[in-house]
Amino acid sequence: MRERALSEERTVFLIAHTGREAALRSVEQLVLGLLKAGIRIRLLASEAVDLDLPDGVETVQGVQRAADGCELILVAGGDGTLLRGAELARDSGLPMLGINLGRVGFLAEAERDDLAVVVERVVDRTYEVEERMTLDVLVRTNGDVVHRDWALNEASVEKQARERMLEVVTEVDGRPVSNFGCDGVVLSTPTGSTAYAFSGGGPVVWPEVEALLMVPISAHALFARPLVTSPHSVLAVEVMPKTPHGVLWCDGRRSYELPAGARVEVRRGQVPVRLARLHEAPFSDRLVAKFALPVTGWRGRSAC
């Protein structure tokens, strides 16, 4: 790998999971490799205190405009860390390159053993960038918009009281579909189809498919099937007036309490999240690898 002078002032923003010793060592290895190659590193001061970092690493106190002047966001951690990185990627418009230091890591493009490859690709800028759909989410009460949010994976309307079901009515494009008691309803992008929606029995949707998903969770109803709609659809979940309060979760990170009678509307987001890709492998291969799916007996196209 050829070294580059720091005078080029190429900078990447690093978001890291620092909760485990093995993750700390991987992040430190990544930082050293990038610095040696002439890439400046910037990260949050709250994360830097847990790392043994050399001089020359820039730290910032908060995330607002933290990635200004950077060319890439590197995220090293599990699914939660990758979703945290997606917030900064969306706000900054920068591509995000995920390195999985957790278990599944569907948003990640590299694994712990790929750190040297990651450094080389970042230095040479040999990665592709793709855009992923997001969701724009709003909450209405008595017809007034009281909250706005967004999600990369999903927005979920969930019960708040463990002992009681949430009574809801679902809607697609201004028309009612069904009402039922449930633990919740997941409104998902194709990216989120392998996350919470998958756990609820929803279909796996290839990332290049443009669609929205509605997946009821533990619904008490004869018809409570997962729905796949147009990307131009508007999905809504209304909390029935005489039901306990619910809660809205966006990517499992941001929550908002939903009073009885609240209405949650979800539509395709105006701002996508950009992901940096190192591999051109089919999504089928990623699915098999991440879920350790059995494929013994497959003989390939030539056998057909």
Q: One-letter amino acid identity for 115?
A: L
- Say which DSSP state 114 is in: G
Rounded Cα–Cα distance for residues 227 and 202 (Å): 8
**Residue 79 catalytic?**
yes
Q: Which residues lie closer than 8 Å to 119 by C-beta, 6 or more apart?
A: 1, 30, 33, 34, 37
The reply to whether 21 sits in an annotated binding site is no
The reply to whether 164 sits in an annotated binding site is yes
Which of 91, 131, 106 lies closest to 192, judged by CA? 106
The reply to whether 153 sits in an annotated binding site is yes
The reply to whether 80 sits in an annotated binding site is yes
The reply to whether 219 sits in an annotated binding site is no
The reply to whether 202 sits in an annotated binding site is no
| Token output for 152 | 């990369």
CB atoms under 10 Å from CB of 292, counted, come to: 7
The reply to whether 79 sits in an annotated binding site is yes
184-188 and 154-159 strand pairing: antiparallel
Q: Which one is catalytic: 79, 113, 124, 136?
A: 79
Q: Which residues lie closer than 8 Å to 234 by C-beta, 6 or more apart?
A: 172, 173, 174, 265, 266, 267
The reply to whether 283 sits in an annotated binding site is no
The reply to whether 121 sits in an annotated binding site is no
Residue set of the binding site: 79-80, 84, 153-154, 164, 183, 194-199
Catalytic residues: 79
Residue set of the binding site for NAD(+): 79-80, 84, 153-154, 164, 183, 194-199
